[in-house]
Amino acid sequence: MKKYNIISYIMISAFITALVSCDGSNKSDHEEEVEVLPDDIVELRDDQIVLANIETGTIAFRSLSGTLKASGMVTSAPQNMAMVCMPMGGFVKSTAFMPGNAVSKGQTLAVIENQEFIDMQQNYLEAKSKFEYAEAEFHRQEELYRNEVSSEKSMQQVTSEYRNLKAQVKALEQKLSLIGINPAGLHEDDISSSVALVSPISGYIKAVNVNLGKFVAPSDVLFEIVNSDRLFLELTLFEKDANKVSAGQKISFFINNETEQHEAVIYQTGKSVNADKTYNVYANIRGVCKNVLPGMYVNALIEAPGNTVPALPSDAVVSFDDRYYIFVFDRNKEEDGKPFTEYRMVEVKKGIDDEGYTEVILPEGFDLKTAKIVIKGAYNLLSAKKNAGEMAC
């Protein structure tokens, strides 16, 4: 709620004093009758209304959007993260990278040395040579068999040998490709005991788990690489807010204790509720945020979709004893030849606040069309109501 400044406080104090002051010289010896007003009624004279700056208006329907608070982490899509291993293991012959270094897809990260690499290349070249001879023999026997010069048995033996060698060559080609050797360019003079371990993606090196001479097993993660060009947020909301978010909503988020605001857009919401009754939301980060990195903790504000709801200027809704009220014009009357106006205090429930307006949830049976609501001076009426016991003269 808004606080009064000093001038407003003085005016309100004077206003209340004017309400409670009584001229002792006008009292008679017997006590005057005092009108007892209902608990929800406040009455003011015309001059008091001017002093209290009272203005009335109507309830309007406005499209208000609120915000939801959420927290979560910055993360990267699975296809933008890589754990680099050496499928056959070996000894680290060389490496030149440190955590934080940028790498490109296909760039050499380390050179791994293993005796088995030599054996695999040798086996491949031998199998390939045998296959080439078997392939030529297969075509010769096929021609002879077609001309009924060769027997069916000979044809079957040659065909079996040809197919076995073909399968063997294909299998060895796949093994060589797995460790990073291109079989198409492999020749007898190119056999090497070392293989270059290359980066599968472009990005930044997050972790380096190698050093020169270290033996690495096939299951060891040697490098961790992250591509930070396309990051997203994984946010956690409470179950009760699950129906308030949807794809396309905008998000403002902050990292660490920084004041710089970043933006994201929800692209997907969770399809189930977690065991701890929370709900996950995923959003793409918009623009380039150089200081946003995977693993960072974020605080986020999700813009809730706008709904057309009954709304009043925020100053029209007052708080008293942890409840919310508005004042409604009740009637004009006259006492001792003086005109008075009565205002009724109506309890409401408060909804979202947006751009100086507040959603009000009205009691059942409230007439929206005819009701005149106090939109200015509601706090002055509340002050008068609090001092109602001192007003009678």
CATH assignment of the domain containing 361: 2.40.420.20
pLDDT surpassing 60 at residue 298: yes
Give the separation between CA 342 and CA 329, rounded to whole angstroms. 6
344-379 pLDDT, tens digit each: 999 999 887 877 888 898 998 888 888 999 999 999
Is 90 contained in some domain? yes
Shared domain for 147 and 207, answered yes or no, is yes
CATH number at residue 289: 2.40.30.170
Is 95 contained in some domain? yes
At residue 113, the pLDDT reads 94
Is 130 contained in some domain? yes
Is 279 contained in some domain? yes
Amino acid (1-letter code) at residue 371: A
Contact 231, 75 (CB under 8 A): yes
Give the separation between CA 117 and CA 9, rounded to whole angstroms. 88
Shared domain for 102 and 210, answered yes or no, is yes
Shared domain for 112 and 136, answered yes or no, is yes
217-229 pLDDT, tens digit each: 999 999 999 887 7
Name the DSSP letter for residue 193. S
Task: Please state the rounded mean pLDDT for residues 300-317.
Answer: 83
Backbone angles phi, psi at 362, to 5 degrees: -90, 155
At residue 242, the pLDDT reads 81
Amino acid (1-letter code) at residue 15: F
- Out of 241, 272, 307, a domain closes at 307
Shared domain for 87 and 215, answered yes or no, is yes
pLDDT surpassing 90 at residue 163: yes
Is 108 contained in some domain? yes
105-120 pLDDT, tens digit each: 999 999 999 999 999 9
Alpha carbon 317 to chain centroid, angstroms: 32
Is 372 contained in some domain? yes
Is 1 contained in some domain? no
pTM metric for this prediction: 0.56
Band of the pLDDT at 143, cuts 50, 70, 90? confident
pLDDT surpassing 90 at residue 258: no
Question: Element (H or E) spanning 90, and its range?
Answer: strand 90-95
- Out of 292, 307, 322, a domain closes at 307
Shared domain for 219 and 250, answered yes or no, is no
At residue 172, the pLDDT reads 94
Task: Please state the rounded mean pLDDT for residues 254-262.
Answer: 80
CATH number at residue 192: 2.40.50.100
Is 184 contained in some domain? yes
Band of the pLDDT at 200, cuts 50, 70, 90? very high
Give the separation between CA 194 and CA 7, rounded to whole angstroms. 84
Mean of all residue pLDDT scores within the chain = 84
Shared domain for 85 and 149, answered yes or no, is yes
Query: What is the total count of domains within the chain?
Result: 3
Shared domain for 280 and 172, answered yes or no, is no
- Out of 192, 225, 258, a domain closes at 225
What interhelical angle do 152-178 and 115-146 show, nearest 10? 150
Band of the pLDDT at 386, cuts 50, 70, 90? confident
CA-based nearest residue to 191, from 115, 93, 112: 115
Shared domain for 211 and 282, answered yes or no, is no
Query: Helix (H, G, I), strand (E, B), or coil: what is residue 172?
Result: helix
Shared domain for 197 and 316, answered yes or no, is no
Q: Which domain holds residue 240?
A: 67-78+227-307
Shared domain for 231 and 182, answered yes or no, is no
Shared domain for 316 and 301, answered yes or no, is no
> Which of these ranges, 17-31, 242-256, 297-311, 377-391, has the smallest mean pLDDT?
17-31
Direct distance between the N- and C-terminal alpha carbons of the chain, in angstroms, rounded to an integer: 32
Contact 297, 254 (CB under 8 A): no
Shared domain for 187 and 313, answered yes or no, is no
Please give the residue that has the higher pLDDT: either 118 or 391.
Answer: 118
